Structure 1
Amino acid sequence: MKAIATRGATDINAAGAFEAIDTDIAEPTGPDLRVRIDALAVNPVDTKVRAGALGELEQPTILGWDAVGKVEAIGDAVENFKVGDRVYYAGQVDRPGCDAEQQIVDSRLVAHAPERLSDEQAAAMPLTALTAWEGLFDKLGLQMAPDAHSEQTLLVINGAGGVGSSVIQLARQLTGIHVIATASRAESIDWCKKLGAHEVIDHHELVSALKAAGHDTVDYIFNCHDIGVHWQNMVDAIRPLGRIVAIAETEQSVDLNALQPKAATFSWEFMFARALHGYHPERQGEILAKLATLLDDGRIQSTLGDVIGPLNVDNLTDAHRRLEAGHTIGKLVLTAIE
C-alpha cells in the first residue's frame, strides 16, 4: 500500500522530513479492523512524534491519529462492525498511523462515523473530541445535566485550537457551566464565540483580563497550551479546591507546590493512555459513538478548519509546518492519498 512516512525530523523544513513509501499491510486478526482511509486530520502530537518526543525513529514511521474510512476486513474477534462500514477513530500512538492508504486499528477504539458529516468533517473530530470528553468528564469531573454547574466557571486556555474547540462545545451542550475561552486574534475570538463561549479574553494578560471580566477566580481550568507558559496564571486564577486539567507538556520547570495552599487538583489528560496501557480501550469507542450522535443531532459541529488537499509529501509537510507555527483555527484535514 502507499503511505507517507518519516524517519524523524526536528526541523519540518529539512529535506526529506517525509517520504512516499510502499509497504505491506497485514490481514487483521483478533479485534482489529483494516480500514481504507478516506480522510485524515493532523494534530500537534504528529509533529511531536516526528520531532522525537517518543524516541528516535530508526525506521520509516507512518504517523497520523485521526481518520475516517471504510472497513475492508475484520479480525475474528471483532464485534459490531462489518466490511463496508464507514467508521472514524483516533487509533493508538504505538502502532502505524493513518498517513497511508490503509490502516490496521483496534475495533474497540472505533465507532460508526457520523452520518450527516462529510469525510473531511468527520476526520477532524476523534482525537480532539475524545481528549475534550475525557478531560471534562473523567478528569475535571463535570456532571452532564442542563443545570449542572450553573453557578460555576470553566476557563479554556487556547479555545480556538482543535481540543479547545471541542471543550467549548461539549461544556456548553452537556453542562450548565459558564465558559470563558482565551483567544487574541479577531478570527479566533469569533470562532470561540460561534462555538458557544460565553466570554472570550486575551491570554496575553490572562489574570488581569479575567478580573476585568468580573472573575477573580474560576472553578475549573482546561489548559490546551504549554503549562509552563500559563502555570502562574493557573495558580493565580484557580479557586480554592478548584480543578485543572492539561494536555500539553512543557520544557519549563513548574512549581507544583504552588497549588498546595489552595488544595487545587492538577491532572493530565492523554488520550492515548487507555490503548497504551490496555485500560478499558472500549471506552473510547463508546465515547465516539456518543459524539457521533451529538454531531448528527446538530448539538455540536465539526471543528474542521481547513482542507489542505490529498495526502502527499508536500501537503503533509505543509500541515505540520502550519501546526508548528501555532496560529491554526480548528483542525487541518487531508483527503485520501494520491
Structure 2
Amino acid sequence: MSTPTTAHAIAATKSGPVDADTSFVDIEVELGAPGPHDLLVEVRAVSVNPVDVKVRRSFDDGPKVLGFDAAGIVVATGPAVSAFSVGDEVYYAGSIARTGSNAEYQLVDERIVGHKPTKLDFAAAAAVPLTTITAWETLFERLNLTKDSTGTLLVIAGAGGVGSMLIQLARQLTGVTVIATASRPESIEWAKSLGAQHVVDHRNLRDEVAAIAPQGVNYIFSPFSADKAQIYADIMAVHGQVVAIDEPEGLDTLPLKAKSQSWHWELMFTRPLFDPESTAQRELLDAAAELFDAGVLRSTLTKKLTPITAETLRAAHREVESSAAIGKIVVANE
C-alpha cells in the first residue's frame, strides 16, 4: 500500500458551541511527508477530553482538527524513527501544536507515543493516554511520590478522566491514602471501585475531609480551582501541596503561605511543546502499558460511540460538556 498523502478529518471551521454547524465539519487535510521522528498512524479510536471542548470553543483560525487521545496502527515512519515499525499498534495523547487525532490518519512524534497495551482493544486504549500522562506526572514528577510515600491525597472529581487514573496509580504505586470527591451514587461507586478508600462530597469539603484527616491532607489534585485557594489552605496540612490542571482567572495563592503550602501546575503538553527531544512520555506510556496488561490498571472507558463521524464526535463533546460523564467517552471505528 502506498503511503497516504491526504486524510479525511473532522474539523471545527469556526470556534463555537457544540451544536453549531461549524463545530464538526468533514474536510480533507494534506498530511505532508513524515518528519524525521514522525509516525503516520491510521487512527482507529479517539477519546474526548475537556481540553478538546476548550479548544473547540476558543481557537482563532480554522479549520481546526480537534482531538488528542488516539490509538491506531503505524503505516509509515520518518527516517530517524527508532522505537517503532510499520504495523505497530500505538496509543498517545498528541500535542496542542499539531493537527489533531479526529482524522483518518495523523502524524505524531514517536517520542510522545507508547506501544498500545496488548490486552486493550483500540477503544479501551484510546481512553487513557492523556489522563494517564497527567496523573503520572502529577504524582511522580510534581509531588515526587514513590512506593514508600504515605500521607493523604485528596482527588477532586474522582470519577473524572484524570481522577480515575490518579486513584488507580496512587493506590497501586504509592502508599498514600486516597480520598476522592464525588456526589452522585454512580460516581461514588466508580471512585470506590478504582480504589478510593474514602469518598466525600465536594459541596461539604471542609467538614467531610476534616472528619477523615483532622490534621489535614498532604496532597490535593485540583481540576476545578476557582475560588478554592482558601478552602485548600484550610484542609491541607502544614507543607501540603496542590497540583492544579485548570486556569482559574485571578487565582490568589496567598492563603497557602501561612502553613508553607505550595501550588504546582501540571500540563501534559509541556514536554511536547518545550522539550521535544525528551522520550519521557513514551517511556511513561510504555510503563503504563505493562501495568494495563498485568491487570494492575484498568481502562477508564465507560462509553463507546461508533464510527468516527462528525455526529458521533458532536455527541461525545456534548456529554463531556455536561460535566456529568464518568470515566471516558471514546469514539471508535470498531
Could you state the TM-score of these two structures normalised by the residue count of structure 2? 0.95
3-state SS of paired residue (2:72): strand
Matched, 1:102 2:68: no
CA distance in structure 2 between the aligned counterparts of 1:184 and 1:201, rounded to whole angstroms: 7
Given the alignment of the two structures, is residue 245 of structure 1 paired with residue 263 of structure 2, yes or no? no
Query: Quick one: which amino acid aligns to residue 103 of structure 1?
Result: Q
Matched with 2:323 is 326
Aligned to 1:39: 45
1:87 is displaced (CA, Å) by 0.5
The superposition leaves residues 161-207 of structure 1 with CA deviations (integer Å, 9 ceiling, x where unpaired) of 00000000000000111000000000000000000000000011111
Number of the residue aligned with 1:222: 221
Superposed, 1:229-308 pairs within 5 Å as: 229-251=227-249, 253-278=250-275, 280-308=277-305
Amino acid corresponding to residue 297 of structure 2 in structure 1: I
Equivalent position of 2:56 in the other structure: 50
Q: CA deviation at 1:12?
A: 1.3
Q: Distance in 2 between matches of 1:250 and 1:299?
A: 34
Partner in structure 2 of residue 128 of structure 1 = 131
The structural deviation recorded for 1:286 is 0.4
CA displacement 1:232-273 (0-9 Å, x = unmatched): 32121111111110111123x332111111111100000001
CA contact (8 A) 1:243 1:265 kept: yes
Please list, as runs of the form range in 1=range in 2, the aligned pairs for 1:148-159 lying within 5 A after superposition: 148-150=148-150, 152-159=151-158
Q: Which residue of 2 aligns with 1:88?
A: 91
Instruction: Render the CA deviation track for 1:21-71: whole Å, top value 9, x for unaligned.
Output: 11221221200000000111111000101111xx41x22111100011000
CA distance in 2, matches of 1:238, 1:214: 9
> Where does residue 206 of structure 1 map in the other structure?
205
User: Which digits, 9 at most, give the CA deviation of each residue in 1:273-303, with x for residues without a partner?
Assistant: 1111125531000000000000000001001
Give the aligned residue type for 1:172: R
Query: Aligned-pair distance for 1:306?
Result: 0.7
Measure, in 2, the Cα distance between the counterparts of 1:8 and 1:134: 33
Alignment partner of 2:251: what SS? coil
Distance in 2, matches of 1:208 and 1:174, equals 29
**Bigger Cα displacement from structure 2, 34-43 vs 209-218:** 209-218
- For structure 2, list consecutive stretches of 5 or more residues without a partner in the other structure: 1-6
Paired-residue identity, %: 45
What letter matches 1:8 in structure 2? K
What is the rounded CA distance, in whole Å, between the counterparts of 2:107 and 2:85 in structure 1?
14
- After superposing the two structures, state which structure 1 stretch, 18-27 or 62-71, moved more: 18-27
* CA displacement at 1:213 relative to structure 2: 3.1
Aligned length: 328
Q: What's the offset of the Cα at 1:229?
A: 4.5
Task: Specify the code of the residue in structure 2 equivalent to 1:184.
Answer: S
CA distance in 2, matches of 1:223, 1:62: 28
Aligned to 1:74: 77
Instruction: Say whether the 8 Å CA contact 1:27–1:34 is kept in structure 2.
Output: no
User: In structure 2, what residue type is equivalent to 1:102?
Assistant: Y
* Secondary structure at 2:26 match in 1: strand
Could you tell me which residue of structure 1 aligns to residue 63 of structure 2?
A: 60
